[in-house]
Amino acid sequence: MTRAEARAWIKPAAYLSLASISCFLFTALTPPLLDPELAAALPFLGGLPFEDAAYWLRFALSFLLLGLAPLGLAALLGDRPAELGLRFDAPILRSPLYWLSLPAAAALGAIGALSPDLASYYPYARGLAGRVAAEGALPFLAHAAAYLLLYYLPWELFFRGFLLLGLAKGSPTGAAGRARWAGTATGVSAGPEGQALAAALVLFQTMPSTMLHVGHPLSELFAAVLAGLGFGVLAWRTRSILPGLLLHAAIGLGTDGLIVLKGAGLL
């Protein structure tokens, strides 16, 4: 192996090593694997009831392991945030049909909340319905903001940005493949190399994003496969994680919203 060939392995090896560590720690330190004794010993959170400590620990781990750590490594290796999909210039964001899809996604999430398994699992903030009943909409809005910024944003950055767009940039066919994909009217790559790269990376990032749902209701685990594929293709085509991020958040908050409204006695 030449020195140039060895250097070509550095970025993917570093990205995949960090991804493995992040996924392991996130899984081990969140329910159902989170040890209550460990949660009780946490600084700042240890004095909280277990469910509240687990709620904030999940968000903190998501922000650090799936957000800041990948961004830091990407910067160290010369990748800019925009190259990981943190960009707001995707043409789809100027489409009225896309913005109409967001309430449809929220409605889909609300339909999912009719499942007894999902209704018993969500929201992560277990006492949220009671707080909404007592205090009005403000607790849910705070939950939604924390969910969007500390959970959904790092999640999409990690899987659809870091492990999809980031790894594609390091591939010999990555730049050309993405350019051909983005440059066609249909959004389908004009060349086999670009198509093969897209398929491989979309399928690859779907595996860990699905596995992090182990322990969730079975219906959600199956839905995670479809979401991983769909949001992966969307990120590849638009070169932005924002369209998928907003759809993902709309679905999740639609689920939480209906569960909370019913739990608060407002429906």
Range of weakest confidence among 15-29, 139-153, 161-175: 161-175
- Per DSSP, 184 falls in state S
Per-residue pLDDT tens over the stretch 151-190: 999 999 999 999 999 998 765 544 444 444 444 333 334 4
| 134's tokens | 């007592």
**What is the pLDDT at residue 183?**
40
3-state secondary structure of 216: strand
| Sequential DSSP letters for 79-138 | --GGGGT--S--GGGG-HHHHHHHHHHHHHHHHHTTSHHHHHH--SSTTHHHHHHHH-SH
d(CA 238, CA 261) in angstroms, rounded, equals 35
Per-residue pLDDT tens over the stretch 74-107: 999 999 999 999 999 999 999 999 999 999 999 9
* Structural domain boundaries, residue 203: 3-263
Question: Does the predicted TM-score (pTM) go above 0.85?
Answer: yes
Which burial class, exposed, middle or buried, applies to 41 when counting CB atoms under 10 A from its CB (0-12, 13-18, 19+)? exposed
Across the range 112-141, mean pLDDT stands at: 95
Mean pLDDT computed over every residue of the chain:
90
Q: How many domains does the chain have?
A: 1
| 140's tokens | 């849910």
